[in-house]
A and B are shown apart, each in its own frame.
Chain A
Amino acid sequence: MLNNYKAAYTNKNIHFVFVNYEGIIQESDQLFIDFKIGDSILNAHPFFECLPSLKEVSEEEITFNCVHLNIADKDYNCDIKIASKKEGVLIVITDLTEHYAEYQKIAQSRNESIINNELIVLKNSELEERERFKNSFIQNFSHELRNPLTSIISITNIIGDTQLTNEQRRMLDFLKESNNNLKLMLEDILSISMINSGKLQLESKYFNFPQLLELLKFTYQTRAENKGLDFTITSDVKIPEFLEGDRLRLFQVLTNLLDNAFKYTLNGSISLNISLNQKRANKISLHFAISDSGIGIAKKDLPFIFISFNQLETIEKHNGTGLGLAIVKGMLEQMESNIKVQSKLDKGTVFSFDLGLKFPIHPITDLPSNSNTKAYKLKEEGGKYKILLVEDDARLQTTLFKSLIDTEYFYIDLISDGAKVMEEVVNDTYDMILMDVNLPNLNGDQITKTIREFPFKNIKKIPIIGLTANAFETNINSYLKIGMNAVLSKPFDQENLLETMFKFLK
């Protein structure tokens, strides 16, 4: 009777089997596995084939945890204890299937999570590596384009000063426009690679805000009229006249957004509205909104519009590099702002952002003038200026030489080897050196350093204008720090060059 009651309290998960040293089953309590007395346990499951080899093991009892057994089409996860006895081997099988199933679930989720994290890290580092490669490729590529583009712009200007037929003049205008587009694209490409590589540096200077808006109006009004669009700029009257920030970058953000609006708006209107969020002490927050009644952006495309080189598939093929919005996003992030977009297909799009700037508490009356002086003076004694042009690119050297000589302000000496510059400077008298930075044998920045450290004042003080295709601000700043008076990044036009030269010619 007691045995009947005991059965309810006995652990039914523990199965006892006794085999002789040959593995023949002698006894089994048949609790959950049907072992046949007289059969070899080695045939029951491959696990038991380890029994013969265990004879050589010195331990009397060995436990195998979490052994998966499949016997008679039934799966078990068991702990198996094998104990050597005088008459043979006692095998104790504890069925822990449910316990190990729980453990398996935990291990599954832990391992999956570790593997997924690992794969994400790998994927990210692969993407970062690609991004680095892309940026370095873009920088090298834009660098290589700068010299030929400077030559093209210079030659175009030279041709413009010759006798041309009306048809030739019209074609030259196209060429100038194409040069300009190419130059802008190159600047866009450079901007995005500067943003991506963290080399974009912001300036903080006072600027005249209404003048900036006037310039935008002037730039886009004609374009709007040509497309039959309404174009308006409205601005809160409470916004101060002078603001402090990076005017150039703000202008770049607004022109990119307006260019984008003009590109995708075929009829209706485009507007730029600037409202005042708040003004406290010398800080001000402005809200910019650029609205258009253009083709709009599908919801599915919205996540991709700020990605570099991405242009949405539309019926009409649009020109451009697909960099404009990526530049906007990157620049605004640098200015601690975020671009937002709301759009409805066939209704239009609104891009907006809030921007924190400063403003002067005391009124400003005078800012450095941007006006261009088209006519320049000769030397005080009425002679021409003597310029040393150091440039190793033969075509650029020729075009710069021609365009400068044609102005009749200069005598020009040419050198292409960096190592020969000092000899020339010491043996002759120059009013200015135009110095390419990347030169054979000795670089322009090294030559500048030597000149600035030279013991004779007349040599030490020669104005040096650097000419470089390494257009990053960090590079330009380092050249200025070494002692160049100004640095022009290629491509530059003749007016730009003359203006810079005459700033330093006496």
Chain B
Amino acid sequence: MQISKKIVVLGHFGVGKTSLIKRFVDDSFTDNYKVSIGVHITKKVVEIAADSMSLILWDLEGTDDIETIRNAYLLGTHGVIFVFDVTRPSTFQNLNSDLEIIKKKLPNIPFLTIGNKTDLVVLDELKQLLEHNTISTDFLTSAKTGDTVNNAFLKLAKLLNANAK
């Protein structure tokens, strides 16, 4: 039986949320930055431990104030992915407080943090920078090269699957 899980993907604008989803769903990438407004919803079916899971990915309009996200978008959410841009400290300098807000809005559900655009930085320097800012992230990805993108989404799917059982 196919189960359906809603995942909201959120974070500041310009961090590459749409690009990550596009890479995961269509395995494609474009360098042209087009601002997403409102919400774009796409679907991808994945196989997790012989179960078929339909991931409904809600790509929310980026904002630098997580509090302002419309509550309607979050209704019925099963999992969250918070994305930040590793090249722009403004998108992760308040990460810990942003995550607190999300946990308050969506308690007791699995969530992941992703630092995106790793193709633009030296990974060792980035890790030092994040450590210096006490930022812990679940995945460092590049939507451009595809590095670690599938792993991140599949990890959340596995968490959702485990939660469902």
Contacts and interface: CB of A to CB of B under 8 A. Distances in A.
Interface of A: 45-47, 49-50, 53-54, 56-57, 62-68, 77, 100, 103-104, 107-108, 111-112, 114-115, 118-119, 122
A56 B89 CA distance: 39
Given A45-B41, A53-B6, A111-B13, A62 B35 contact: no
B120 to A, nearest CB: 11
A54 B75 contact: yes
Given A53-B6, A111-B13, A68 B41 contact: yes
B37 A62 contact: no
Contact of B38 (A46, A62, A100, A119): A100
Contact of B75 (A46, A57, A122): A57
Contact of B14 (A64, A111, A122): A111
B14 A53 contact: no
B43 A46 contact: yes
B95 to A, nearest CB: 16
Contacts of B70: 64-65
B62 to A, nearest CB: 7
B37 A63 contact: no
A49 B42 CA distance: 11
Determine the interface band of chain B, counting residues with CB < 8 A from chain A. Answer: 20 to 34
A45 B39 CA distance: 13
Contacts of B14: 111, 115
Contacts, number: 75
B35 A46 contact: no
A100 B75 CA distance: 23
B38 A50 contact: no
A125 B73 CA distance: 38
B90 interface: yes
A111 B35 contact: yes
Contact of B37 (A46, A100, A112): A100
A72 B72 CA distance: 25
B6, B14, B76, B90: which has the most chain A beta carbons within 10 Å?
B76
Contacts of B61: 66, 107
B72 A119 contact: no
A68 B38 contact: yes
A46 B90 contact: no
Contacts of A66: 37-39, 61
B12 to A, nearest CB: 10
Interface residue SS majority, chain A: helix
A47 B38 CA distance: 13
Nearest to B64: A114
Contacts of B56: 46, 49-50
B35 A107 contact: yes
A107 B62 CA distance: 10
B4 interface: yes
Nearest to B70: A65
B35 A108 contact: yes
B73 A64 contact: yes
B22 to A, nearest CB: 14
Nearest to B13: A111
